[in-house]
């Protein structure tokens, strides 16, 4: 199979040369350095010290197990959100891929449309739908299926519904793009050799889209780590996530040193996942 | 004659000099910035205090929200003080004092009208009383205190409680039988134990003051602990001040502020102490200022909505900001721990 791919899609060969227009990059680089990198370095500085006990705040972080637990809880929510996005997003992207070009445009428009509505409104709207006195619960009660309201919201399920709702396009759009780039002749070749539709899907189509799926999944995972509004509203305040805790430490306490240590730890985690994303993404492009 | 002319000229010159210098001073402070909590409370600052201040001095006031210790600390530590006044909760005021983030107030310049002593601090002016009280939907069975909120047998329904330890732990202790006057030092173990009893009946732990009235109206919860100004004027919501927690919010001046700005801020603070202005502010949101002479100026038919109306003040307890400041770290850790166990 890989032979066919390499024959139909010749690998691009780019001669190595000094990047052109390096000079034009300087303003942007200075801008980023001053307004982005420098503040991050200052944050790193806050997390270190006082003199003689450089890692005091990191020690406090490791010892005050509650902060690590919240960080762990955040990762857990992110994993579940990623799984939910994959399970919902892959069939959606696949279905879109099989539509006529016109249908694809419409479906794509519907997916992108969600970006037009404020995340706050979309999050709050879930209360109207799934709340204790929302449409779903009232219908269930009316039908006599349940006597007490089903707790869809104000727990982990509520948070995951919210994050998945917001992040699904981030998985679907790149995945769909990758599917479009797939060489259909590969699939036709398999079909002409008598492979069944399920064989074609599981042995050719799916493996070829795994890198894009993995890249989208890592992206969703990273983005979930920073969610703030969703846990505050749909979590009912009972699903502690790291962004909300940082808000408390920065704005209310204000314990900037500890917040800086937590942020640095989070940054390191995120960079590791970002490196993984880059690696996977690059691999998917080569294929 | 000559001397008269000369002295007249001198007086003229002096007058001109004085005028130009006052003119200069006015020219320098054209705008004052303040950071406040926002929402209806911010509107009340605009109507009650900023309007008369701007009419008298010609100085425009720009409001910014929300407030928070983080912003104050950032401003002072960066030595770039952009706002002349900062709103602080009572516990934040203690914290800001300890971190040396505030200027001394110039009480002579403020020249306050009569206000309660607790509002008159070295580095802060207590400008607004608010209460944390019980509220419920009109169609729910009325409550009369914290014991009732914990009594889920007789008062069934979902609850919304504050995601702030200082606004719920004292209530838990009262529900457990502690007299309000014996609350401090707070027995944290006992308070958290009592809170554990109720946690399964709490649908939402709220962070924004606007949440409880909305949750009650949407029938998401039937009972809520809420800030008084958010619920007392809402149709369909009932409340009681009984056993409520009375608290005072402060205005402070960030350390390192420009002296001209500070002088102008003192004039604005004077307006804050005027009973008539406080009555105008209370018309916007049912929180009350610190004037000792406010009651007769408030709309008498709505007197039961105000935290400091004598009938309400008598049945509430004051929060102890010093204790909360002293135990901030321990409380926060235990609070997070508690929420992780939800």
**CA torsion through residues B21, B27, B28, B31, sign:** positive
The 10s digit of each residue's pLDDT in A100-135 is 999 999 999 999 998 888 988 999 899 999 998 899
> Comparing C-alpha atoms, which of A81, A75, A98 is closest to residue A216?
A81
Q: Which residues of A touch B163 (CB under 8 A)?
A: 237
Tell me how far apart the alpha carbons of residues A241 and A228 are, in angstroms, rounded to a whole number.
8
Please tell me which residue of chain A has the smallest CA distance to B339.
A238
Contact A66 B340 (CB under 8 A): yes
Q: State the nearest Cα–Cα gap between A252 and chain B, in angstroms.
A: 6
- Alpha carbon distance B95, B321 (integer Å): 9
Closest residue in A to B66 (Cα–Cα): A251
For the question of an ipTM over 0.90, the answer is no
The pLDDT value given to residue B21: 46
What whole-number distance in Å separates Cα of residue B238 and Cα of residue B226?
A: 11
B336 contacts on A by Cβ (under 8 Å): 66-67, 70, 240, 245
Taking an 8 Å cut-off on Cβ atoms, the answer to whether A132 and B203 are in contact is: yes
Q: In this structure, what token pair is assigned to residue A58? A: 């990191």
At B251-268, the pLDDT tens digits run 999 999 999 999 999 999
Cβ–Cβ gap A66/B71 under 8 Å:
no
Q: In the numeric block, which tokens belong to residue B271?
A: 């307006």
- Cis geometry, peptide bond prior to residue A50 (ω within 30 degrees of 0): yes
**What residue in A sits closest to B96 (Cα-Cα)?**
A254
Q: Cα(B197)–Cα(B182) distance, rounded to whole angstroms?
A: 22
B170/B322 Cα distance (integer angstroms): 14
Of B73, B333, B340, which has the smallest distance from its Cβ to A240's Cβ?
Answer: B340
The pLDDT, as a whole number, for residue A17 is 61
Name every chain A residue with its beta carbon within 8 A of the beta carbon of B337.
Answer: 66
Q: Flag the least confident range among A26-30, A146-150, A243-247, B11-15.
A: B11-15
Q: What global pTM score does this model have?
A: 0.81
In chain B, what residues touch A64 (CB-CB under 8 Å)? 333
Low-confidence residues in chain B, pLDDT < 50: 1, 17-27
Residue scoring higher pLDDT (A137 or B329) = A137
Q: What was the pLDDT predicted at B68? A: 87
- Which pLDDT score is estimated for A3? 45
Which of A15-29, A181-195, A265-279, B151-165 shows the lowest per-residue confidence on average (mean pLDDT)?
A15-29
Position B275 scores a pLDDT of 95
Task: Give the closest of A131, A255, A256 to B218, CB-based.
Answer: A131
Ordered by start, the domain boundaries in chain A are 68-286
How many angstroms away from the CA of B215 is the closest CA of chain A?
10
> Distance between CA A4 and CA B88 in Å, rounded?
69
Alpha helices, DSSP H, located in chain B: 2-28, 39-45, 51-57, 69-77, 90-98, 107-110, 146-150, 169-175, 188-198, 211-217, 228-231, 259-273, 275-284, 310-314, 321-326, 328-340
The beta-carbon neighbor of B69 closest among A133, A238, A252 is A252
- CB B329, CB A60: distance < 8 Å: no
Q: What is the pLDDT of residue B81?
A: 94
At A251, is the pLDDT very low, low, confident or very high (cuts 50, 70, 90)?
confident
Interface test with B, best of A65, A254, A257, A260 (most B CBs within 10 A): A254
- CB atoms inside a 10 Å sphere around CB B150: 19
CA dihedral (A85, A91, A93, A97) in degrees, to 10, reads 170
| pLDDT greater than 80 at residue A214 | yes
Q: Please report the pLDDT score of residue A227 as a whole number.
A: 93
- Asked if A255's CB is within 8 angstroms of B340's CB, the reply is no
Using the 8-state DSSP alphabet, how is residue B176 labeled?
T
Contacts of A74 in chain B (CB under 8 A): none
Q: Report the alpha-carbon angle B340-A236-A131, nearest 5.
A: 140
Q: What are phi and psi of A171, to 5 degrees?
A: -95, -40
Percent of chain A's residues with pLDDT above 90: 57
Chain A CA closest to residue B216: A133
B70 contacts in A (CB within 8 Å)?
A: 250-252, 254, 256
Which residues of chain B have a CB within 8 Å of the CB of A61? none
Span A62-114, pLDDT tens digits? 876 788 889 999 999 999 999 999 999 999 999 999 999 999 999 999 999 98
**Closest chain A C-alpha to B28 CA, distance in angstroms:** 31
CA distance A170 to chain B (A): 29
Rounded to whole angstroms, the Cα distance separating B177 from A90 reads 56
Of the candidates A34, A70, A68, A57, the residue with the CA atom closest to the CA atom of residue A260: A57
Question: Cβ of A154 under 8 Å from any chain B Cβ?
Answer: yes
From A57's Cα to the closest Cα of chain B, the distance in A is 14
Question: Between the CA of residue B133 and those of A268, B201, B210, what are the distances in Å?
Answer: 43, 18, 14
Under CATH, which number does the domain A68-286 receive? 1.10.3720.10
Q: Which of residues 44-63 of A touch B (CB under 8 A)?
A: none
- Residue A285, chain B, CB below 8 Å: the answer is no
Q: Which residue of A has its CA nearest to B334?
A: A66
Number of Cβ pairs closer than 8 Å across A and B? 68
């Amino acid at each position: 199979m890989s032979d066919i791919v390499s024959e139909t899609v010749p690998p691009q060969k780019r001669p190595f040369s000094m990047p052109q227009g390096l000079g034009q990059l300087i303003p942007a680089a200075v801008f980023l350095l001053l307004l982005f990198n420098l503040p991050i370095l200052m944050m790193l500085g806050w997390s270190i010290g006082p003199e003689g006990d450089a890692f005091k705040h990191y020690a406090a972080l490791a010892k005050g197990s509650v902060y690590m637990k919240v960080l762990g809880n955040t990762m857990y929510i992110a994993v579940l959100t990623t799984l939910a996005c994959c399970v919902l997003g892959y069939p959606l992207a696949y279905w879109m891929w099989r539509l006529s070009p016109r249908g694809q445009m419409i479906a794509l428009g519907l997916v992108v449309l969600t970006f037009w509505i404020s995340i706050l409104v979309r999050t709050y709207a879930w209360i109207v739908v799934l709340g204790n006195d929302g449409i779903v619960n009232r219908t269930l009660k009316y039908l006599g299926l349940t006597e007490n309201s089903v707790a869809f919201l104000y727990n982990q399920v509520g948070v995951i519904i919210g994050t998945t709702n917001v992040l699904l396009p981030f998985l679907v759009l790149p995945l769909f793009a990758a599917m479009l780039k797939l060489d259909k002749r590969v699939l036709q070749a398999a079909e002409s050799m008598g492979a069944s539709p399920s064989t074609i899907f599981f042995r050719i189509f799916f493996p070829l889209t795994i890198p894009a799926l993995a890249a989208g999944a890592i992206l969703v995972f990273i983005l979930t780590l920073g969610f703030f509004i969703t846990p505050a509203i749909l979590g009912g305040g009972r699903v502690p996530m790291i962004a909300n805790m940082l808000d408390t430490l920065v704005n209310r306490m204000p314990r900037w040193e500890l917040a800086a240590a937590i942020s640095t730890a989070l940054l390191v985690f995120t960079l590791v996942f970002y490196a993984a994303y880059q690696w996977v993404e690059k691999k998917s492009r080569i294929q | 004659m000559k001397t008269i002319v000369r002295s007249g000229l001198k007086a003229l010159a002096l007058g001109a000099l004085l005028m130009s210098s006052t003119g200069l001073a006015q020219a320098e402070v054209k705008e004052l910035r303040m950071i406040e909590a926002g929402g209806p409370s911010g509107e009340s600052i605009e109507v009650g205090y900023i309007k008369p201040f701007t009419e008298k001095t010609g100085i425009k006031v720009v409001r910014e929200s929300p407030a928070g210790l983080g912003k104050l600390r950032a401003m002072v530590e960066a030595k770039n003080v952009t706002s002349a006044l900062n709103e602080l909760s009572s516990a934040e005021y203690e914290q800001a004092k300890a971190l040396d983030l505030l200027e001394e107030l110039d009480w002579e310049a403020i020249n306050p009208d009569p206000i309660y002593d607790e509002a008159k601090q070295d580095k802060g002016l207590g400008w607004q009383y608010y209460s944390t009280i019980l509220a419920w939907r009109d169609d729910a069975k009325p409550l009369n205190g914290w014991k009732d909120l914990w009594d889920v047998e007789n008062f069934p329904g979902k609850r919304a409680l504050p995601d702030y330890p200082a606004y719920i732990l004292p209530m838990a202790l009262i529900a457990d039988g502690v007299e309000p006057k014996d609350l401090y030092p707070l027995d944290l173990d006992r308070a958290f134990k009592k809170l554990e009893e109720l946690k399964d009946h709490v649908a939402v732990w709220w962070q924004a003051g606007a949440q409880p009235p909305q949750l009650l109206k949407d029938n998401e919860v039937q009972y809520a602990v809420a800030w008084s100004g958010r619920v007392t004027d809402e149709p369909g919501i009932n409340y009681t001040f009984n056993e409520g927690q009375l608290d005072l919010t402060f205005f402070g001046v960030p350390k390192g502020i420009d002296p001209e700005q500070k002088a102008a801020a003192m004039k604005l603070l004077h307006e804050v102490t005027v009973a008539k202005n406080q009555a105008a502010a209370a018309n916007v949101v049912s929180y009350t200022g610190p004037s000792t002479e406010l009651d007769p100026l408030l709309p008498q038919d709505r007197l039961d909505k105000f935290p400091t109306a004598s009938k309400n003040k008598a049945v509430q307890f004051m929060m102890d900001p010093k204790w909360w400041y002293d135990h901030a770290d321990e409380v926060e850790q235990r609070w997070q721990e508690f929420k992780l166990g939800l």
